Chain A
Amino acid sequence: MKLTAWGRYPRIQATGHSFETAEELRGYQEKAGNSIVFAMGRSYGDSALSERVIFTRRFDKILDFDPEHGTVISESGVTLSELIEVFLPTGWFLSVTPGTKFISLGGAIASDVHGKNHHKAGCFSECVRSFELMLPDGNILRCSHEENQELFLATCGGMGLTGIILTVTLTLKRISSAYIRETIVRCQNLKEIFCLFEEHMDMTYSVAWIDCLARGENLGRSVLMLGEHATAGRLNPRTAKIRSVPFNLPGICLNKYSVSLFNHFYYHKNPLFVEGRLVPLDTFFYPLDKIANWNRIYGRGGFTQYQLVLPRDASSEGLKIILERIASSGLGSFLGVLKLFGPENENYLSFPMEGYTLALDFKIQKELFPLLNELDSIVLDHGGRLYLAKDVRMTREVFIKGYPRWKAFSELREKLGMKDKFNSLQSERLGV
């Protein structure tokens, strides 16, 4: 079958197995050589791609829930969307959620995903109490901070390269309303938005949309969105209808003029300042989920997302250079997202570090890769790194420099025989 992840690039020929029980999975794994888990395919690049993949979509049963403490035991193929659907009406929500709810629990752990509250709540692994991991020999180990800690640290953020995450125990967060109180502030430039992020460190959620095509005085103009859980409002709001992009748009639809026009209108559509309006959780956290297959607007050739993070003290200078470079290239994208992260965690390959992260979508085209290579050097020069869950092209060198704990990760893989058993196109490219 043909297989591709969210960026629809690359598209490869693959075979795959799904499973419902650990025994069934073990049966496949004993016979087969190399493989990687492909879950919901919401990673952008080639982290979940390989000639042979394991599908977790049928391993999706919720096995236990403790309504006292909000502890859930569930199989890793369940989606965050399903967990929300089941537990939100009873007053429980995910304590960390990315910008789409259509990812699996396994994918959330394997990329150690972050949300708009990273500066306060850290990565997804913070709410993971433990999980069972199937190793290359078919044995299953329980991993947590107390048991097999090394495997826990390597697997959270480990991009499926340490084994198959099976049953997960996680803790949810109590909430009393399915609404967020949102505040929106429009900012003229980079300096202004940096000040505002720092000023609002105590807000639970913060993220900014940034216009990557704005230049000169307007460089870094953005719209900051802040949020707190509301205390009023019901727990089960009507969910919005999902629309869909029915087919690939011709690649030509996205060019620097159309994108620049879009960005202009988006910026001015938002009022200068809105304080504390009530919006449903879905609208606040998952605006893009309302349009199924929105990835088709980039046409058949696909697209990629470039997400970088720079240490806090290098952020201002580094981002300025990067934004200038992107603006002058004219290859800008609709959605630039800017956020201030909190401190990094101990996991070997988790992406976030204390500082600013910027994420940009780019249509795949010839001119793109030289530009991204240039950006890579700027990122490394400023002590930053790129997010593996979005990556499809970074070199081994960029990876090694960005992730100083790669060696411990790689050695663990060697020691436990994972290098013969779990590889993605990405891990082969990175030589990890």
Chain B
Amino acid sequence: MNGRLAVGDKEASETRLTGRRRRTESPQMAGIKALVALSFSGAIGLTFLLLGCALEQYGVYWPLFVLIFYVLSPIPYFIAKRTSDDSDSGSNACRELAYFFTTGIVVSAFGLPVVLARAYLIKWGACGLVMAGNVVIFLTILGFFVVFGGGDDFSWEQW
């Protein structure tokens, strides 16, 4: 028997030896890993938010209003993507207006806990926790857009 293995037999022999098939990472796996990571960070962010409300020393649920800002934040971008008919990479006023409003919504999500704390409705510790939750949630939303694109670039094969 000659000692030379054909190239294609290497994997077969490895499989015979170890009983395991080496799997290359497919795009679906990468997409799912990103999804799991993003959902984990989203859960952490919401945990911070709820801690800011539900801990014994805080106890008031006013900070939950920032959830409105979380939901509103991707909407201008989607509206701009839908209503813009030109897909050239030049300047698009509608898209820039969407960035303007999105940034405004993010700023508002940070401003609301500060105003609540200054009005003595919540304590400053709760404000800090809510702001930490904000950071994590907005990074999660940004991560969604970076990883999964949005709209036209969104290739369904990532699922």
Q: Do A and B come from one complex?
A: no
Binding site for B on A (CB under 8 A): none
Binding site for A on B (CB under 8 A): none
